[in-house]
Amino acid sequence: MRRIAIIGAGSIVFCKTLMLDIMATKVLEETEFVLMAPSTSKTTQVKAFADKVIAHNGLKSKVTITTDRREALRGADYVITSFQVGGVDLFEKDYKIPLSYGVDQCIGDTLGPGGVFRALRSIPVILDVARDMEELCPNATLLNYVNPMAMICWALGETKIKYVGLCHGVQTTLDLISGYVGVPKQEIDYVSAGINHMGWFTKLSHKGEDLYPRLREKFEEPEFYVNEKVRGEVFRHFGYFMTESTGHLSEYVPWFRSSQEALDLYCDEPSFGGESGAYYTWCTYVADKYREKDVLADEPVDLPPRSVEYCAYIIEALETGNTFKFSGNLRNNGMISNLPEDCCAEGLVFADRNGLHRTVNGDLPPQCAALNMTNINVQRLTVLAAKTGDPETVVQAVALDPLTSSVLTLKQIREMVTEMMIAQQQYLPQFEGRLPRPTPTINIPANVQRADVPIDPALAVYSRFGELAK
């Protein structure tokens, strides 16, 4: 039996989806699922449901549960990670503390203060998983679903394990594009490349016809533009369509959430998911709804068709050699030539019996690469902070965040980061109680005289202009 360890199997609905996908794949029928979470309160529900599915469909799979990560990883052929360190309680702090300073996040799991702190909590855990894999299952492949994807996979790229980061932004955006241009999704030829949650469709065609002129025309029509204002605006100004929704994209750039006017114009429409705290509100609703309920007790036990998630298709390709192509997240290493070699890039990956193979995309359009770099700068410093435990690097990472820097001064950013670190210190052991150094306000009296020090020549020129103006 192949052994698949799911680390973070308390994510009930998502765990169920991945397991059903694998069970519905004929060549993966003989699989032992090892479900690991810090407690068994949720994994017992998943196991009970999976056992019913196995019995009903006459499958050869089996399911075990454990709270011991090393036990789960021992001898695994594949490892799936889908954990959230701190759960909804920490997510609340990721959202509400920045909001009290004026930083309005919609999703808060990829960039911004929320994404940075989710990474600070999660990177030490994913590196522990990688170290355990190097010892207990060195030939296993890790399929990561933990966000922030780019930062997690950046850290994994510095280990020795085989891994890939998986997201569904590309395939779900293709559904949207298909509807806009009136071409079946499966008939669209495309190239998507960039970073996770900010990938760019650099090619869209159908039977040799460039679909971009048709898509651009649609986004000049109010009834289409209104569905995706943020993504539509970036498309209109940067020339290429992006893989993420209004809610996600609005907090990766400085233009849509930096004032109430911008929020009202582009984001505060609940039906389109750009409103303040949309994802936190949803997660809270789900957590409250299912806190005392067996979510899977009444779920149907017939095997459904496989979902759009890549996981089962990749494992099938690695097992059988039948090639599967998908958008994956890996250390760049030349995949996108005008992004840093060591960053996590998202692009076309092939899976077969020989493993995972990145493709060479070449350069992104320069304006797209530049926008990616505004996020990569934050990712780099966040990964560094998570590994070194330096609180100053956390301040610097958040200070470079496009949304935060459009709203706060450096001193305000430092104060916000300090408050977040104090609130989450239990989940940030690498900082050992260390906090950013305080920077008190320097009070400048109205009659203060400049110190007798050398003046920047450029400043002297500007001063002379001032004298002449008088």
Q: Which residues are catalytic?
A: 168, 252
Beta-strand pair 31-36/2-7? parallel
SS3 of 423, please? helix
- Report which of 316, 276, 245 is spatially closest to residue 104, judged by C-alpha positions: 276
Q: Are 231 and 218 in contact (CB under 8 A)?
A: no
Q: What sign for the dihedral angle of Cα 112, 336, 354, 29? A: positive
SS3 of 190, please? strand
CA 198 – CA 253 distance, rounded (Å):
10
Q: Are 333 and 343 in contact (CB under 8 A)?
A: no
Q: How far is CA 155 from CA 87, 127, 198, 344, in A?
A: 21, 7, 19, 9
CA 322 – CA 317 distance, rounded (Å):
5
Q: Which parts of 219-365 fold into alpha helices (H)? A: 222-225, 229-238, 246-249, 260-266, 278-289, 311-320
Q: Which two tokens stand for residue 180?
A: 């806009």
Strand partners, 196: none
* Amino acid (1-letter code) at residue 39: S
SS3 of 242, please? strand
- Report which of 417, 427, 429 is spatially closest to residue 85, judged by C-alpha positions: 427
CA 126 – CA 148 distance, rounded (Å):
12
CA 18 – CA 14 distance, rounded (Å):
6
Phi, psi (degrees; rounded to nearest 5) at 244: -120, 155
